[in-house]
Structure 1
Amino acid sequence: MLTIDRATHDAIIAHARRDHPDEACGVVAGPIGSDVPARFIPMLNAAMSPTFYEFDSGDLLKLYREMDDRDEEPVVVYHSHTSTEAYPSRTDINLAGEPGAHYVLVSTRDGADQSGPVDFRSYRIVDGEVTEEEVRVVDRYEDVAATQQKAEH
């Protein structure tokens, strides 16, 4: 399950809407081993395409060095689909190189780029196998920790 705070969830949607009709892309980094998407990092779609996204190689290298310096890893890798459902394409599956990451897709088709609900879905992609997972949006991560502690006692 992907647990994501509302501010980050909303920021991903806003980025997808802002970049429409091109696909938006980015990363949400978090402390290594935490599975907590904490730092929202919108990236430039170097392909500037409505049907494909590509991280700029220089930007990506800079990002990975920065995450390494901060003891972070990519917890979420996200991008948008502008005219299809929020499901990984064959290209998305082939490019999924972070087996520990949640791959979030947002669909801005059918007017969702302007307003209303968007299709916001998360997947694990490991060795070419796609598994959809539940998305839980929380106001704050502290609320989740408190709930988990109560459940354990």
Structure 2
Amino acid sequence: MLTIAQETYDAIVAHAKRDHPDEACGVVAGPEGSDRPERFIPMVNAAGSPTFYEFDSTELLQLYKDMDARDEEPVVVYHSHTATEAYPSRTDIGLASEPNAHYVLVSTADCFDESGGNSDGPVEFRSYSIIDGVVTEEEVTITPTTDSSKKGSTS
């Protein structure tokens, strides 16, 4: 099961919508071994494609160095599908190299009309475990943002 904060969920969805019609991609890092997605890291889709994503190799190397220095690991690896459902393609399955990560797919197919304008349609947000080519869908639980400044404190 993937448990993710509303703020992180919103950031992933906003990135997917912003990059449409190209696929968006990124990582949410968390403390090693914690399974807690905490640090949202939007990446550049080096492929610049509506049907494929590719992390920029230089940016990815820097990300892994940064995560290593912070004792973090990729808890969520996400990307969007702009015209199809939020289910991993054969290419997505082949690229899945983090056995402990949650692979999140966001479909923006229903968010845009034929002219490319935002139609405010719903997104499809799904998470998967992908290990040795085996895809298993996971439940997603979205928790409220815990930032006290957003809760309206009475003290």
Q: Same fold (TM over 0.5)?
A: yes
Name the amino acid aligned to 2:88.
Answer: P
CA distance in 1, matches of 2:61, 2:111: 34
Normalized against structure 2, the TM-score is what?
A: 0.89
| Number of the residue aligned with 2:4 | 4
| Number of the residue aligned with 2:66 | 66
Please tell me whether the aligned partners of residues 111 and 122 of structure 2 are also in contact (alpha carbons under 8 angstroms).
Answer: no
Percent sequence identity over matched residues?
Answer: 73
CA distance in 2, matches of 1:141, 1:89: 34
CA distance in 2, matches of 1:111, 1:7: 20
SS in 2 for 1:58: helix
Which stretch has the larger CA shift, 41-50 or 108-117? Answer: 108-117
CA distance in 1, matches of 2:105, 2:146: 21
Unaligned regions of 5+ residues in structure 2, if any? Answer: 148-155
| Number of the residue aligned with 2:142 | 137
Point out the structure with the larger helix share. 1
Normalized against structure 1, the TM-score is what?
A: 0.90
Runs (4+) of structure 1 exceeding 2 A deviation are 110-114
Work out the number of aligned pairs and report it. 142
SS in 2 for 1:27: strand
Name the amino acid aligned to 1:117.
Answer: P
Gap change, CA 1:141 and 1:134, over 3 Å in 2: farther
Please tell me whether the aligned partners of residues 111 and 123 of structure 2 are also in contact (alpha carbons under 8 angstroms).
Answer: no
Cα RMSD (Å): 1.4
| Number of the residue aligned with 2:128 | 123
Name the amino acid aligned to 2:84.
Answer: T
* TM-superposition CA deviations, 1:33-73 (whole Å, max 9, x none): 11000000000000000000000000000000000000000
Name the amino acid aligned to 2:3.
Answer: T
